[in-house]
Structure 1
């Protein structure tokens, strides 16, 4: 068992332009207790849902352990799914895993790392950009429709 610590859905991209100019305000609540996932499309309501440029990377994951030294707020990194007890950065490209938080398993395929950007220093704190290199999470494509909820979750690794 692992824990889904936080779920983040944002309808707009708040980090555009220069970090020194500051982020755009989010238009509404972004923290959720559950999210709806659609196969091949992403998380319903998220800015990358069915976005052609992000179709294979629409859902981002980060390990809470990677953020521990930088922030008490796991949503600041703006990854969709923050997990505890699951080292997502160790998963190679092409890995398929599932999470089941009570509504049935939802499979995800790892496509690439979610590299941190210069905004991390502005939003999380000085040094976070360099400190999160190699620990910024992963970008995945969902392979199933389903629901993820915060709290305990079963995780399973599967053959691709």
Structure 2
């Protein structure tokens, strides 16, 4: 199925620490990318979760930009999700108590990159500060999915092909 990669985010630091009322930490540099390098089992090169043992099982977050529609025009980078797509409800890929997450592939022109969907990327209270008031509750069930990359590759902003290789995750949903 054809989708659009709306934005790609690689952030070397975790900007949302402490209390939301205190505001986010300054980002040390641009985080928006036109393309990202994906490494199997490790994540996105240069990202804060790349090759961190605690995050290897969920190093990349994929998000559906349409989840932001109720909040008006919002920069999707404010969600701090790595890969923002248009054209597919990615939350349906996540694992649930009754089934594993889906195996899916993204190809933006440089070859296919497979991902294993793991758990939902639940929103946090920071969403009310960075996205819009009410986003914390409004994005529940639409916060994206944490994934493990299974292949090395490159993803680029623009048109892409998304293939769900393991339908078991979607059949139960």
Q: TM-score, normalised by structure 2?
A: 0.90
Residue in structure 2 matched with residue 8 of structure 1 by the alignment: 9
Counterpart Cα distance in 1 of 2:94 and 2:41:
19
Hey, what does 1:77 align to over in structure 2? 79
Q: How many angstroms apart in 2 are the aligned matches of 1:157 and 1:125?
A: 32
Paired residue total: 160
* Unaligned ranges ≥5, structure 2: 96-100, 168-173
Give runs of ≥4 in structure 1 deviating > 3 Å.
Answer: none
SS in 2 for 1:11: coil
How many angstroms apart in 1 are the aligned matches of 2:14 and 2:166? 33
TM-score by length of 1: 0.97
Gaps of 5+ in 1: none
> In 2, distance between residues paired with 1:39 and 1:88?
20
d(CA) in 2 for partners of 1:24 and 1:137? 23
Cα distance in 2 for partners of 1:36, 1:30 equals 14
Q: Deviations over 1:123-152 (max 9, x none)?
A: 111100000000000000000000000000
**In structure 2, C-alpha distance between the alignment counterparts of 1:3 and 1:125, rounded to whole Å:** 24
- The 8 Å contact of residues 57 and 118 in structure 2, kept in 1 or not, is answered as yes
Q: Greater helix share, 1 or 2? A: 2
**What's the counterpart of residue 51 of structure 2?**
50
- Aligned equivalents of 1:91, 1:24: Cα separation in 2: 31
Q: How large is the RMSD of aligned CA atoms in angstroms?
A: 1.0
How far apart in 1 are the matches of 2:122 and 2:166? 25
| Matched residue, 1:26 | 27
1:28 is displaced (CA, Å) by 0.1
**Map 1:125-136 → 2, pairs under 5 A:** 125-136=132-143
Q: Partners in 2 of 1:48 and 1:22 — Cα distance? A: 21
| CA distance in structure 2 between the aligned counterparts of 1:154 and 1:102, rounded to whole angstroms | 8
The reply on whether 1:111 has 2:118 as its aligned counterpart is yes
Shift of 1:67: 1.2
